[in-house]
Amino acid sequence: MLSPSSSEPILELKGLCKAFGQLRAVDDVDFTVARGSLTGLIGPNGAGKTTTFDLIAGAQRRDSGRILFQGQAIDTLTPHAIFRRGLARTFQVPRPFANMTVLENVLLAPSGQLGERFDANWWAIGRVRAQERELQERARSVLDWCALSDKAALLAGQLSGGQQKLLELARVLMIDPAMILLDEPAAGVNPSLLETLMERVQMLHQRGITFLLIEHNMDLVMRVCERVLVMAQGRVLAQGSPREIQDNPLVLDAYLGPST
């Protein structure tokens, strides 16, 4: 495993653009994320943060620019293919299958299961069953790790907002992601669940997983992030250490409007 301080980029955005009609939601964005880092992505509402995640994760197509993950272009791949390469994302508003159980939601995450393939014929049944057992075990241990094991049989729609955020994390842990994009993990989460969630994030970070974290909770960003990127009106306005960002007048202006 590479050291967390490694500066080799795991993710590179080059001249990335995405417009919705006249609105330049992402406007010539360049940045890199170092492998093993926990980087914050902040900025006022409508800055283009979630759209940037959508472009990285393949949920939206860029108009122009490039996105490299582990040195390879991913900007023409499907969300599924990007996920399988080890780049996972969670949603600003969790999107569980509300009428399925928590366990079933987690089991849906992995791809390429033998049991789903048409070519899995009778001789493969033993292997399919073994694989299903393995997946079940993994799902249960992931739920346990995310402090959700006692919720496994509940419908996902019955979970609180905070528990749904933990479920989102559990789902992405069914693959071994190299990088996780977290979109506002703290929003609407009660303090004790938030503590659990961030503890898990930091543990995963210590294991070498790279995080890019969109968050409006500045205390949280300043506490956990090593580096912070600031977006405003589709552009990268500033980047640096949390302290540098805190002291940057441009950043304050972006949030509060210019003081003059």
Ligand X SMILES: Nc1ncnc2c1ncn2[C@@H]1O[C@H](COP(=O)(O)OP(=O)(O)OP(=O)(O)O)[C@@H](O)[C@H]1O
The residue ranges that bind ligand X (CB under 6 A) are 20, 23, 25, 43, 45-51, 92
> Nearer to ligand X by C-beta: 13 or 106?
13
Angle between helices 125-145 and 161-172 (to 10 degrees): 140
Q: How far apart are CA 132 and CA 202, in angstroms?
A: 30
> Least distance from C-beta 60 to ligand X, angstroms?
7
> Nearer to ligand X by C-beta: 21 or 112?
21
Pick what 48 binds: Mg ion, ligand X, none; C-beta below 5 to 8 Å, kind-dependent: ligand X
Give the SS3 label for residue 223. helix
> Least distance from C-beta 165 to Mg ion, angstroms?
14
> Least distance from C-beta 214 to ligand X, angstroms?
7
User: Quick one: how many helices (H) and strands (E) in the chain?
Assistant: 9, 10
Interface residue list for Mg ion (CB under 5 A): 50, 92
Q: How far apart are CA 36 and CA 8, in angstroms?
A: 9
> Nearer to Mg ion by C-beta: 70 or 92?
92
> Least distance from C-beta 208 to ligand X, angstroms?
27
> Nearer to ligand X by C-beta: 24 or 138?
24
Pairing mode, if any, of strands 227-232 and 179-183?
A: unpaired
Pick what 20 binds: Mg ion, ligand X, none; C-beta below 5 to 8 Å, kind-dependent: ligand X
Q: In terms of C-beta density within 10 A (0-12 exposed, 13-18 middle, 19 or more buried), how is residue 163 classed?
A: buried
